[in-house]
Amino acid sequence: MNPESLAWNERLIGVEGGIGRLDTPALVLDLDAFEHNLRAMVAIARAHGVKLRPHAKTHKSVAVAKAQLQAGEVIGFCCAKLGEAEALAAGGIDSLLLTAPVFVASKLERLVALHARVRELAVVVDDPLQVEALSATFAAAGRRLTVLLDVDVGSHRFGVTSVGEGLALARRIAAEPALEFGGIQGYAGSIQHIPDYHARAAAAAPVAALLAELRDALRAEGLPCPVITGAGTGTHEIDARAGVFTDLQVGSYAFMDVDYLDCTLTADGSARFRPALEVWTRVLSRHHKGFATTDAGIKCFATDGPLPRVVAGAPEASTYRMFGDQFGRLILPERASAPPLGSIVRCLVPHCDPTINLWDHMVCRRGETVEAIWAIEGRGAVA
Amino acid sequence: MNPESLAWNERLIGVEGGIGRLDTPALVLDLDAFEHNLRAMVAIARAHGVKLRPHAKTHKSVAVAKAQLQAGEVIGFCCAKLGEAEALAAGGIDSLLLTAPVFVASKLERLVALHARVRELAVVVDDPLQVEALSATFAAAGRRLTVLLDVDVGSHRFGVTSVGEGLALARRIAAEPALEFGGIQGYAGSIQHIPDYHARAAAAAPVAALLAELRDALRAEGLPCPVITGAGTGTHEIDARAGVFTDLQVGSYAFMDVDYLDCTLTADGSARFRPALEVWTRVLSRHHKGFATTDAGIKCFATDGPLPRVVAGAPEASTYRMFGDQFGRLILPERASAPPLGSIVRCLVPHCDPTINLWDHMVCRRGETVEAIWAIEGRGAVA
């Protein structure tokens, strides 16, 4: 937490042009771009008759979830961890899907408590032991939990690995009075970032085919799938068109990042989503030719993917590297001089999910004015 | 924040063997190893007549700082960011050095407020503009701030780059009635992780020589240096022996990490410090030969350096990779089978500082019992 920095930035809310006085480093959301992105995804969902179940692992924020709800076509939210779901539920979000198995003893009591607090809660499973743990817990609590079958569609991270295994596990779920079989999840995480749209579409086709095959096999056994959930920002258009998914688990589209900027996300090659999320940093030192030291480093940016991209406040073609845990290195093109000490440099976030998870708040701007500061309540809710 | 997970783990405090029921993932500190590390560093300081000014950028925790104070030889704490210093001051830590320049308008008011709250506060500078900003602010507030001269000893991140520039800036500081010239800082961040002790010592020698030259030049101008501060865990023994530093800014020694395990930290090659900090994760899925999916990924481990190292709970020679933002991939040696679903796997943290910055709490164990849970108050205090 950074309460004194937050207090300073809160004083800027509503002050025209106040963003220039921002205490830095800060995570800054461009509301115009963000709202454009929400509308663009809603339009795709409407055009293809699918619903949205945005993945809150990306933002972990009640305010963002509420904006997504308000934009339309949202039937609920995904969470990767129980703690994320608890954070959203505490803020009034009442339809939640846990997209990874939750079955360890330390979490079952919490899962029941969460179930009592929300309108809809569903959990995925990929192993009979998980079904047993959930069934015993919810039977003892006198409650009924919706359970989805997780299908491995190529990432090999979670999920049953064949239609036969899926059928067997679905029967196990359906046989438990305390559980309701809710459908299937197939999230192809490993193909979301294939840069070329058509190569990505080719990789996504067998995913939809496998899910359709399993759906039909389940239906033939009298186990209909009211929910077939999956997809991400990378395959959102492909999966919306596929006619198999009932809802899309999209996350990054709301913010975008350097990672996704290198991917063509639409069949016609147009840019559907705008980069909306930046880290604003200031120049702290400039003693050397060719670079300057800024106030945002490894603790401000995800370091698992590309580097941050400089978009304003520095000479064109400037680049950015980490300069240790706390500082950044603004690398200047030849013959360019460094921006003045104390001036703001704006960087697109490299990979949005783990970058957001470093911050407790995001500063929301409308042009040059701070409109709001949103809490990231689920930050660090990894358990 | 992860309040429900925290509440579960708090219920384990004092329960014999309770660590086995830990809600995961969790950051776990082995208190025996941690206390050993504190004592080992105190012994080095005493042997060579230097003091310790532990760097709180590593831990950002009041409880850790208090343990360091209690262990001895600590004259104060370093902070890389103003927000870290505010977090420590709120917990009663009253001697603080800000090891990077603080001079931007949004921070000056906070700096004055912090100055009023602690017994000792010092800030480093490397530019006349910073001196002007601090002087004007503290003069207006009717206060006197201790200012140290930051010297570039090879990282090129901050610091004056020559003895001449250092002399000129020190004169500027000394000429301001609202500022007190406190001495010099020379932190050789770029050499701390040179694996070989003697290669590291060779790189550290010119650092100490430069600081001694500047110290003597300042003294000749009637500007004594009561403080010559620098060093890190990598050069702690080398810099303690050098006879130039008055105090050592050590951080990682308290915890250790995979990064430092690959460095020989002592002249005689012995392992002075013990790995004390781990992330405990559980197995969530095991559908494939050769690996299993665990509950700790990019949001639980720093990804700027080496990978986490598996130390318990999995077959010998197992390794660990990220399996996306939320999950880990425990890679098993040939023919080994995966640990059971739900079982705990223990991993040494890869790079301690940015790993700790992902967590709001650390679970402190004594053997198999949870002894305490310490808050990381300054987590995310990057501004």
Distance, in Å, from the CA atom of B19 to the CA atom of B12, rounded to the nearest integer, reads 7
pLDDT in tens, B259-280: 999 899 999 999 999 999 999 9
Output the DSSP codes for B180-209. EEEEEEE--GGGTT-SSHHHHHHHHHHHHH
| Homologous superfamily of the A31-255 domain (CATH) | Alanine racemase (3.20.20.10)
Judging contacts by C-beta atoms under 8 Å, the chain B residues touching residue A325 are 57, 80, 304, 353-354, 357
Output the DSSP codes for B214-229. HHHHHHHTT---SEEE
Give me A87's structure tokens. Answer: 């954070």
Burial class of A338 by CB neighbour count within 10 A (0 to 12, 13 to 18, 19+): buried
As for the ipTM of the complex, it is 0.97
Judging contacts by C-beta atoms under 8 Å, the chain B residues touching residue A129 are 341-342
Distance from CA of A348 to the nearest CA of B (A): 18
- B/e letters for A47-73, b = 16+ CB within 10 Å, e = fewer, are ebebbbbbbbbbbbbbbbbbbbbebeb
**How much is the mean pLDDT over chain B?**
97
Are the C-beta atoms of residues B290 and B333 closer than 8 Å to each other?
Answer: no
Distance from CA of B40 to the nearest CA of A (A): 26
CATH 2.40.37.20 assigned to B3-29+273-375 = yes
Beta-carbon separation of A1 and B381 below 8 A: yes
Give me B183's structure tokens. Answer: 């001495």
CB atoms within 10 A of CB B128: 12
Distance from CA of A47 to the nearest CA of B (A): 31
Interface test with B, best of A257, A327, A382 (most B CBs within 10 A): A382
Supply the DSSP symbol for B151. Answer: B
pLDDT at residue B70 in the model:
98
Distance, in Å, from the CA atom of B29 to the CA atom of B281, rounded to the nearest integer, reads 14
Which residues does B150 contact at the CB level (< 8 Å), separation at least 6?
B99, B100, B101, B124, B125, B126, B158, B159, B160, B184, B185, B186
Give me B303's structure tokens. Answer: 């990804």
SS3 B283: strand
Could you give the angle at which helices B105-117 and B82-90 cross, rounded to 10 degrees? Answer: 30
Average pLDDT over residues B66-82: 98
Beta-carbon separation of B326 and A23 below 8 A: no
Beta-carbon separation of B303 and A304 below 8 A: yes
Distance, in Å, from the CA atom of B24 to the CA atom of B18, rounded to the nearest integer, reads 13
pLDDT in tens, B193-214: 999 999 999 999 999 999 999 9
Q: Which residue has the tokens 């532990």?
A: B54
Beta-carbon separation of B326 and A80 below 8 A: yes
Instruction: Indicate the residue of A110, A157, A325 with minimum beta-carbon distance to B324.
Output: A157
Judging contacts by C-beta atoms under 8 Å, the chain B residues touching residue A109 are 8
SS3 B233: coil
Beta-carbon separation of A105 and B21 below 8 A: yes
pLDDT in tens, B148-175: 999 999 999 999 999 999 999 999 999 9
Distance, in Å, from the CA atom of B186 to the CA atom of A211, rounded to the nearest integer, reads 60
**How much is the mean pLDDT over chain A?**
97
Burial class of A216 by CB neighbour count within 10 A (0 to 12, 13 to 18, 19+): exposed
Distance, in Å, from the CA atom of B20 to the CA atom of B46, rounded to the nearest integer, reads 39
Beta-carbon separation of B382 and A299 below 8 A: yes
pLDDT at residue B210 in the model:
98
- B/e letters for B76-85, b = 16+ CB within 10 Å, e = fewer, are bbbbbbbbbb
Instruction: Indicate the residue of B106, B286, B357 with minimum beta-carbon distance to A21.
Output: B106
Distance, in Å, from the CA atom of A63 to the CA atom of A254, rounded to the nearest integer, reads 13
Are the C-beta atoms of residues A9 and A26 closer than 8 Å to each other?
Answer: yes
Beta-carbon separation of B105 and A357 below 8 A: no
Beta bridge partners of B78: B55, B97
Distance, in Å, from the CA atom of A362 to the CA atom of A173, rounded to the nearest integer, reads 41
Interface test with B, best of A11, A28, A82, A106 (most B CBs within 10 A): A106
CATH 3.20.20.10 domain locations along chain A: 31-255
pLDDT in tens, A45-90: 999 999 999 999 999 999 999 999 999 999 999 999 999 999 999 9
Average pLDDT over residues B89-93: 98
Interface test with B, best of A155, A285, A321 (most B CBs within 10 A): A285
Distance, in Å, from the CA atom of B80 to the CA atom of B157, rounded to the nearest integer, reads 13
Beta-carbon separation of A104 and B282 below 8 A: yes
Average pLDDT over residues B351-378: 98
Are the C-beta atoms of residues B381 and B27 closer than 8 Å to each other?
Answer: no
Instruction: Indicate the residue of B4, B341, B357 with minimum beta-carbon distance to A110.
Output: B4
Are the C-beta atoms of residues B13 and B361 closer than 8 Å to each other?
Answer: no
Nearest residue of chain A to residue B10 (CA atoms): A106
pLDDT at residue A326 in the model:
97
pLDDT at residue B218 in the model:
98
Average pLDDT over residues B215-244: 97
Distance, in Å, from the CA atom of B291 to the CA atom of B330, rounded to the nearest integer, reads 5
pLDDT at residue B281 in the model:
98
Which residues does B377 contact at the CB level (< 8 Å), separation at least 6?
A1, B60, B61, B62, B87, B88, B90, B91
Beta-carbon separation of A382 and B299 below 8 A: yes
Give me B35's structure tokens. Answer: 């206390």
Which residues does B297 contact at the CB level (< 8 Å), separation at least 6?
B322, B323, B324, B325, B326, B327, B328
CATH 2.40.37.20 domain locations along chain B: 3-29+273-375
SS (H, E, C) chain A: CCHHHHHHHHCCECCCCHHHHCCCCEEEEEHHHHHHHHHHHHHHHHHHCCEECCECCCCCCHHHHHHHHHHCCECCEEECCHHHHHHHHHCCCCEEEECCCCCCHHHHHHHHHHHHHCCEEEEEECCHHHHHHHHHHHHHCCCCEEEEEEECCCCCCCCECCHHHHHHHHHHHHCCCCEEEEEEEECCHHHCCCCCHHHHHHHHHHHHHHHHHHHHHHHHCCCCCCEEEECCCCCHHHHHHHCCCCEECCCHHHCCCHHHHCCCCCCCCCCCCCCCEEEEEEEEEEEECCEEEECCCCCCCCCCCCCCEEEECCCCCCEEEECCCCCEEEECCCCCCCCCCCCEEEEECCCHHHHHCCCCEEEEEECCEEEEEEECCCCCCCC
Beta-carbon separation of B341 and A103 below 8 A: yes
Give me B210's structure tokens. Answer: 């430069």
Give me B288's structure tokens. Answer: 């494939």
Q: What is the enclosing helix (H) or strand (E) of B166?
A: helix B163-175
pLDDT along chain A (383 residues), means of 10: 96 97 98 98 98 98 98 98 98 98 96 98 98 98 98 97 98 98 97 96 97 98 97 98 98 97 94 98 96 98 97 98 98 96 98 98 98 98 98
> How wide is the angle at C-alpha B153 spanned by C-alphas B352 and B42, nearest 5°?
50
Distance, in Å, from the CA atom of B340 to the CA atom of B321, rounded to the nearest integer, reads 19
Average pLDDT over residues B289-318: 97
Q: What is the enclosing helix (H) or strand (E) of B46?
A: helix B31-48
Pick from A347, A287, A362, A285: nearest CA to A314 = A347
Instruction: Indicate the residue of B87, B100, B160 with minimum beta-carbon distance to A284.
Output: B100
Give me B347's structure tokens. Answer: 């991993």
pLDDT at residue B355 in the model:
98
pLDDT at residue B74 in the model:
98
Distances (CA, A) of A359 to A12, A163, A303, B63, B383: 19, 41, 14, 22, 11
pLDDT at residue B8 in the model:
98
